[in-house]
Structure 1
Amino acid sequence: MANLRKNVAIDLGTATVLVYMRGKGVMLNEPSVVAMDSYTGKVLSVGKEAKKMLGRTPGNIIATRPMKDGVIADFNTTEKMLTYFIQKTLGKSFVKPNVVICVPSEITQVQRRAVIQASKYAGAYKTYLIEEPLAAAIGAGVDIGDAGGSMIIDIGGGTTDVAVISLGGIIINSSIPIAGDECDMAIANYIKRKYNMIIGERTAEDIKINIATAYPRDDDELYEVRGRNLINGLPMHVFITSSDISEALSKPLNKIVDTVHDVLEQTPPELAADLFERGALMTGGGSLITGFDKKIQEKIGIKVRLAEGPVTAVVRGTGKALNWIDKLDSSEMGEESGRKKAIEERMKRNYI
């Protein structure tokens, strides 16, 4: 039966869930949203269909995001969401899969146990955890077993993880609850203040995807936004520019830049010298904001570049970690040092 058991890698993100299977690549990429009937507790839809219901549901239907700031906020809903995604990926199977899930680098032991338990109840045989910066580095093609230092800036939906990696482990890191969702909120608040118009989170996200920029563009085209007038409550529309959005995003983006700077300040001198030569690597959906790499580069003084396929880098790295699944941390209390040592040994023997 062990030979029939499949191994699945999951990027359990605040905004998106990605599922990877060895030999098949990324099998699923859907929003981490669940729509439920509040009367019966029955799940009505999950993922893309549920996201369409955000802000549009009648009183008895609740569309929610069970993940917040990279960790589980609603255990029961997260369990149902994981069950749906695992079954959608594997189909009907009598053999429970092994699951590798990436988690923020500064997750607490309580939050770690919640992820393991939710995965177990969702149908996993064993659940293994790997930190997002390590997974992002592996997915971006970084040799994490190398003695030289590598900096990873992973900007997801709920958290931004910044880490310096060497010899298969995280040397210095910081995780902050400021990322894509915070940018959406900043855009919505800016439009509310400047134009007296209220917009939903889906609209704010669309604005971010289409015209978000760290610096105003030269070709400042107008972008139409529809919402509700704050004063009279009637529908209205306005035209905004990338200059508006760069102003709206200045606060959250500056906080991320300051976090990168703080991590660099705490990096040992030898590794800092490596980073000056190698630069830093950006992953995650938030790294796609136009000009954000240049903004960070101006602050820290070293080259910053985007990884290839930044949105799927974390789940691809988590998928590669399936190669040494038996060496990952499956305990609820965590065995950090032993796991890192095992990864280092595997990397030195070129198992990846």
Structure 2
Amino acid sequence: GKEPVLSAIGAGIPMNEHSDHMVVDIGGGTTDIAVISLGGIVASTSVKVAGNRFDQAIADYIKKNYNLAIGERTAEDIKIKIGSAVPIDDESMRLTIKGRDLMFGLPKVVEIHSAEVTEAISDELDEVMRAIKSVLHDTPPELAADIMEKGIVLTGGGALLRNIDELVYQETGVPAYIADEPLLCVAKGTGIALEHLDVYKRSIMSKR
């Protein structure tokens, strides 16, 4: 898809300059990863693991470990309030959640800690990290060196997960940073692209 290019534009990356960028756009349904050079996509992949799958994994974990059924909104709430891509050793990072006890069918309240959320989404995060590594692996050495220096740009709602930049760095050795307004990047990119349609068309058309 063209989403990573739009995200790159939204993240304020000038598309037609002589430089290389890697963008990881963690949306709701998919994570799009692209290395962009001279306005064209050099290496990219897309995996069907992103925000929604994180939420689902949290709900599954709570069902399995607490025998508690929670809704999608509660799962997302947990992710936003205490979720972290790497374990946080902070006792205050706890949340009391309400759900339905699967054994008795009655409402029940449990308290969960941030580290449990990290554990719940670890498989999903692994998949995203593997995808990032595979794109880095497919990137020509001189571009990869450029990216090592500049870092990986994280955008999309999933970029708002605490410490996701830290996890990317731990896993790849490449510094990662979050775009200024990660959620708006794609929307903003689309708007900016429309303003500069001619330049943009050239950047999409110019396959290396």
Q: State the TM-score bracket (shorter-chain normalisation).
A: over 0.9
Find the aligned partners of 2:120 and 2:34 in 1 and give their Cα distance.
27
Find the aligned partners of 2:56 and 2:179 in 1 and give their Cα distance.
26
Find the aligned partners of 2:91 and 2:46 in 1 and give their Cα distance.
33
1:219 aligned partner: 90
Match of 1:245, as an amino acid? V
| Contact 1:220 1:243 (8 Å CA) reproduced | no
Report the secondary structure of 1:184's partner residue. Answer: helix
Find the aligned partners of 1:157 and 1:315 in 2 and give their Cα distance.
14
Over residues 119-143 of structure 1, what are the superposed CA-to-partner deviations in whole Å (9 max), with x where a residue is unaligned? xxxxxxxxxxxx1111111111112
Match of 2:186, as an amino acid? V
2:123 equivalent among 245, 251, 259? 251
Find the aligned partners of 1:338 and 1:302 in 2 and give their Cα distance.
26
Residue 205 (structure 1) aligned with residue 70 (structure 2):
no
Find the aligned partners of 2:120 and 2:204 in 1 and give their Cα distance.
41
1:279 equivalent among 151, 157, 171? 151
- The 5 Å alignment of 1:115-130 reads none
1:150 aligned partner: 21
Task: Mark the structure with the bigger radius of gyration.
Answer: 1
Structure 1: segments with no counterpart, 5+ residues: 1-104, 106-130, 330-336, 345-352
Find the aligned partners of 1:157 and 1:338 in 2 and give their Cα distance.
26
Residue 341 (structure 1) aligned with residue 206 (structure 2):
yes
- The 5 Å alignment of 1:1-352 reads 105=1, 131-221=2-92, 222-325=94-197, 339-341=204-206
Which structure carries more relative contact order (alpha carbon 8 Å, separation 6+)?
2
Find the aligned partners of 2:41 and 2:21 in 1 and give their Cα distance.
10
Task: Quote how far apart the aligned CAs of 1:217 are.
Answer: 1.9
Find the aligned partners of 2:77 and 2:160 in 1 and give their Cα distance.
13
Find the aligned partners of 2:24 and 2:204 in 1 and give their Cα distance.
22
Structure 2: segments with no counterpart, 5+ residues: none
Deviates more, 1:162-171 or 1:137-146: 137-146
Percentage identity across paired residues of the two chains: 45
Find the aligned partners of 2:144 and 2:39 in 1 and give their Cα distance.
17
Deviates more, 1:216-225 or 1:304-313: 216-225
Q: How large is the RMSD of aligned CA atoms in angstroms?
A: 1.9
Report the secondary structure of 1:223's partner residue. Answer: strand
Higher helix share goes to which structure?
2
Task: Quote how far apart the aligned CAs of 1:338 are.
Answer: 8.2
1:34 aligned partner: none
Find the aligned partners of 1:149 and 1:324 in 2 and give their Cα distance.
20
Task: Quote how far apart the aligned CAs of 1:340 are.
Answer: 2.4
| Contact 1:136 1:313 (8 Å CA) reproduced | yes
| Contact 2:86 2:166 (8 Å CA) reproduced | no
Return the TM-score normalized by structure 2: 0.94
Find the aligned partners of 1:326 and 1:270 in 2 and give their Cα distance.
29
Task: Quote how far apart the aligned CAs of 1:276 are.
Answer: 1.3
Find the aligned partners of 2:87 and 2:172 in 1 and give their Cα distance.
21
Match of 2:20, as an amino acid? G
Cα pair distance change 1:302/1:189, threshold 3 Å: same
Task: Quote how far apart the aligned CAs of 1:209 are.
Answer: 1.0
Task: Quote how far apart the aligned CAs of 1:280 are.
Answer: 0.7
Report the secondary structure of 1:271's partner residue. Answer: helix
